[in-house]
């Protein structure tokens, strides 16, 4: 049912869902479920007339404020003296745009109150496995899997023992057993408990199970006169460890590479106020520039007139005509990779008027057209400063692959990205693209056809091919 509904949504909504689900590394269906859940949880009234009345201990759910969270954590607070530090941890996680849902064990409630935790997390707090309010739809499973990470802080000796042995007799241990998310433990206990043979065994088992640890640190204990290893890590250390798991460092496969990209249409003047143009929006070239920059490349984008913001971290040279575009491209060399995505006008007006052409009784002024410089062919055929990988775009309205193959041979570039721009496809100015990547393989031309994707996804895919090719030291795209 979900996929049927998604297909029927507006394009803008679908694009939003795809981007949001890609960012959160969830399927689109899963993302829709998360959004619906958030919506339902934010409701003041009961979900259905049949749901249980609010439990007395249910904390209020204040309005969320500030920037939208980018990740979510289920924080399990165990019954240790260090539980007070978890209040600061909630704040530190929220500062990092992490949504925090807290679970308190029975023992934890002796150290911090659900009210304080709820007030800081701006969420209701969960304490009971058999809570009719949250278990009407198996809430412990939601807490176990509807998050990106589970953090246990403080992780008591008891919680570690339960985890290592697969117990599920309260909400915290049931969540820990039912999850398929990464678990981060911040142990906190007396040094004798930490060094006890049973805890050592449990710890070794948990590490074999893939649980990640932060701390414990060494220092003074709450118990007078005791010191040693067992102090829970500081909130900021735990938040940083959680952030590393939530947002692992992005690989930069194009680090140290200089990438030159052209985008958009060109405007060829007829007179000071009129010009010849085409329908290119520049979106595909801009998306490639952003993807190459995200992959660590130094990016120079030479753009014709477009209605787009400059991508962050990219050097953008704005031009109008094909001749200006060629000039900026030549000035930007040398480059390791050149991608010519601009829809450069093939012709310009030879007799460009110095003044605005006037309507006269003599009829329409004759427009003499002359050929523009061919930027792709010019750069592909350079003997000096030719980028090692030159990629052209072929926008065709008929015989797409045949025309693209001819273009690859004629222009002397290494790859061609061919796309059908006939009006029915909506590619020109639209947000989606269906492309075929043509490359030389031995004496043959290989064609790799990609499914319909957003222009951002096409850009990411192309950059991934480039990265693999650069790594392989081969000009042929990896399949
Ligand atoms: C004052 C006090 C402090 C405690 N501190 C800790 C602690 O730091 N670490 C720990 O593992 N247990 C500690 N305990 C023992 C736990 O509270 C106890 O094992 C409890 O059953 C843990 O429950 P939980 O794991 O479900 O939270 C403490 C107990 C008391 C009375």
pLDDT in tens, 329-358: 999 999 999 999 999 999 999 988 888 888
Between 196-205, 304-313, 462-471, the lowest mean confidence (pLDDT) is in 462-471
Distance CA 86, CA 94 (A): 12
Q: pLDDT tens across 278-326, in order?
A: 989 999 999 999 999 999 999 999 999 999 999 999 999 999 999 999 9
Pocket test for ligand 1, best of 105, 158, 159 (most atoms within 8 A of CB): 158
Dig out the tokens for 332 from the structure. Answer: 């930007």
Per-residue CA distances from 453 to 101, 147, 171, 458 (Å) = 35, 27, 42, 6
Q: Where are the alpha helices (DSSP H) in 230-321?
A: 235-246, 283-294
Which helix (DSSP H) or strand (DSSP E) does residue 165 occupy?
helix 157-165
Q: Does residue 107 have a pLDDT over 90?
A: yes
Does ligand 1 have an atom closer than 6 angstroms to the CB of 191? no
196 three-state secondary structure: coil
β strands within 197-314, DSSP E = 212-213, 217-220, 227-231, 258-263, 268-269, 275-276, 298-303
Lowest mean pLDDT among 22-36, 110-124, 177-191, 352-366: 22-36
Residue 78 Cα: closest atom of ligand 1: 27
d(CA 265, CA 53): 62
Q: Is the CB of 107 under 6 A from ligand 1?
A: yes
Query: Do 258-348+368-472 and 57-246 fall under one CATH topology?
Result: yes
Alpha carbon of 80 to ligand 1 centroid (Å): 4
394 touches ligand 1 (CB under 6 Å): no
Collapsing DSSP to helix, strand or coil, 428 comes out as: coil
Query: Of 181, 125, 112, 111, which is closest to residue 151 (Cα–Cα)?
Result: 181
Q: Report the nearest-CA residue for atom 4 of ligand 1.
A: 80
Ligand 1 contact, 156 CB (< 6 A): yes
Residue whose CA lies nearest to ligand 1 atom number 1: 81
Residue among 306, 304, 316, 341 at smallest CA distance from 459: 341
CA 423 to chain centroid, in Å, comes to: 30
Q: Which atom of ligand 1 sits closest to the CA of residue 172?
A: 26
Rounded distance between C-alpha atoms, residue 415 and residue 413, angstroms: 6
For 190, other C-beta atoms within 10 Å of its C-beta total 18
Q: Is the CB of 285 under 6 A from ligand 1?
A: no
Q: Considering the domain 57-246 in this protein, what is its CATH number?
A: 3.40.50.1950
CA of 156 to the centre of ligand 1 (A): 6
Cis bond upstream, residue 63 (ω within 30): no
**Helix H or strand E encompassing 94:** helix 83-95
% of the chain beyond a pLDDT of 90 = 63
Which residue lies with its CA nearest to atom 14 of ligand 1?
80
Q: Where are the beta strands (DSSP E) in 60-208?
A: 71-77, 98-104, 149-155, 182-187
Ligand 1 site, residue 93, Cβ cutoff 6 A: no
CA of 232 to the centre of ligand 1 (A): 13
Helix (H) or strand (E) holding 116: helix 114-121
Q: Which residues are catalytic?
A: 278
What's the mean per-residue pLDDT of the chain? 86
Q: Give backbone dihedrals phi and psi of 242, rounded to 5 degrees, phi first.
A: -65, -40
Higher pLDDT, 378 or 23: 378
Q: Is the CB of 437 under 6 A from ligand 1?
A: no
Q: Any bridge partners for residue 2, and if so which?
A: none
Kindly tell me the burial class for residue 362, based on how many C-beta atoms sit within 10 Å of its own C-beta (0-12, 13-18, 19 or more): exposed
* DSSP run (H or E) holding 157: helix 157-165
Distance from chain centroid for Cα 291: 11
Kindly give the residue spans of alpha helices, DSSP state H, lying in 214-304. Answer: 235-246, 283-294
- Residue 9 clears pLDDT 90, i.e. is over it: no
Residue 199 near ligand 1, beta carbon < 6 Å: no
**Nearest-CA neighbor of 292 among 270, 315, 272?**
315
pLDDT band, very low/low/confident/very high, at 7 (cuts 50, 70, 90): low
Q: Helices (H) and strands (E) in the chain — how many of each?
A: 17, 21
Q: What are phi and psi of 100, to 5 degrees?
A: -120, 120
- Does the Cβ of 193 fall within 6 Å of ligand 1? yes
- In angstroms, the first-to-last Cα distance of the chain is 34
Tell me the CA–centroid distance for residue 282 and ligand 1, in Å.
Answer: 61
The token duo for 25 is 């590394």
Kindly give the pairing relationship between strand 453-454 and strand 432-433.
antiparallel
Report whether pLDDT(76) > 70. Answer: yes
Give nearest CA residue, ligand 1 atom 17.
79
Q: What pLDDT sits at residue 137?
A: 58
* CATH classification (class only), 258-348+368-472: alpha beta
Q: What pTM value is reported for the model?
A: 0.55
Upstream peptide bond of 154 is cis (omega within 30 degrees of 0): yes
Lowest mean pLDDT segment, chosen from 3-7, 53-57, 247-251, 260-264: 53-57
Kindly report the backbone phi and psi dihedral angles of residue 188, in degrees, each rounded to the nearest multiple of 5, phi listed first: -150, 120
Domain boundaries, given as residue ranges, for the chain: 1-40, 57-246, 258-348+368-472
The predicted pLDDT at position 41 comes to: 60
């Amino acid at each position: 049912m979900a996929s049927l509904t998604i297909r029927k949504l507006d394009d803008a909504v679908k694009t939003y869902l795809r981007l949001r689900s890609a960012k959160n590394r969830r399927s689109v269906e899963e993302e829709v479920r998360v959004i619906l859940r958030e919506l339902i949880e934010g409701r003041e009234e009961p979900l259905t007339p049949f749901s249980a009345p609010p439990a007395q201990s249910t904390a209020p759910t204040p309005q969320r404020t500030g920037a939208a969270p980018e990740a979510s954590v289920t924080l399990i607070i165990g019954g240790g003296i260090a539980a007070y530090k978890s209040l600061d941890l909630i704040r530190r996680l929220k500062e990092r745009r992490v949504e925090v849902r807290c679970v308190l064990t029975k023992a934890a409630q002796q150290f911090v109150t659900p009210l304080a935790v709820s007030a800081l997390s701006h969420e209701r707090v969960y304490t009971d496995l058999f809570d009719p309010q949250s278990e009407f739809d198996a809430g412990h499973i939601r807490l176990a899997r509807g998050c990106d990470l589970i953090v246990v802080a403080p992780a008591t000796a008891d919680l570690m023992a339960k985890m290592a042995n697969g117990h599920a007799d309260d909400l915290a241990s049931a969540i820990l057993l039912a999850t398929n998310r990464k678990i981060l433990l911040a142990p906190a206990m007396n040094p004798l408990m930490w060094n006890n043979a049973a805890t050592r065994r449990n710890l070794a088992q948990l590490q074999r199970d893939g649980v990640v640890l932060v701390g414990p640190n060494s220092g003074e204990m709450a118990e007078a006169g005791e010191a040693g290893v067992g102090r829970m890590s500081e909130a900021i250390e735990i938040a940083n460890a959680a952030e590393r798991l939530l947002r692992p460092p992005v690989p930069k496969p194009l680090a140290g590479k200089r990438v030159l990209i052209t985008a958009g249409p060109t405007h060829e003047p007829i007179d000071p106020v009129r010009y010849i143009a085409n329908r290119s929006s520049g979106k595909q070239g801009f998306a490639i520039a952003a993807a190459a920059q995200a992959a660590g490349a130094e990016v120079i984008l030479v753009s014709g007139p477009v209605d787009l913001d400059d991508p962050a971290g990219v050097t953008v040279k704005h031009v109008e005509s094909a001749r200006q575009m060629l000039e900026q491209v030549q000035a930007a060399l040398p480059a390791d990779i050149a991608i010519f995505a601009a829809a450069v006008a093939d012709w310009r007006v030879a007799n460009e008027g110095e003044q605005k052409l006037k309507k006269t009784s003599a009829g329409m002024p004759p427009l003499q057209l002359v050929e523009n410089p061919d930027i792709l062919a010019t750069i592909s055929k350079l003997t000096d400063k030719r980028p090692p990988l030159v990629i052209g775009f072929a926008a065709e309205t008929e015989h797409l692959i045949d025309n693209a193959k001819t273009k690859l041979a004629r222009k002397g570039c290494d790859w061609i990205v061919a796309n059908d721009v006939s009006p029915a496809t909506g590619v020109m100015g639209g947000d989606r693209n269906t492309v075929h990547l043509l490359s030389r393989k031995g004496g043959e031309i290989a064609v790799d056809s990609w499914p319909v994707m957003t222009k951002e996804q096409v850009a990411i895919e192309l950059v991934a091919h480039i990265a693999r090719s650069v790594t392989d030291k081969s000009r042929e795209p990896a399949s």
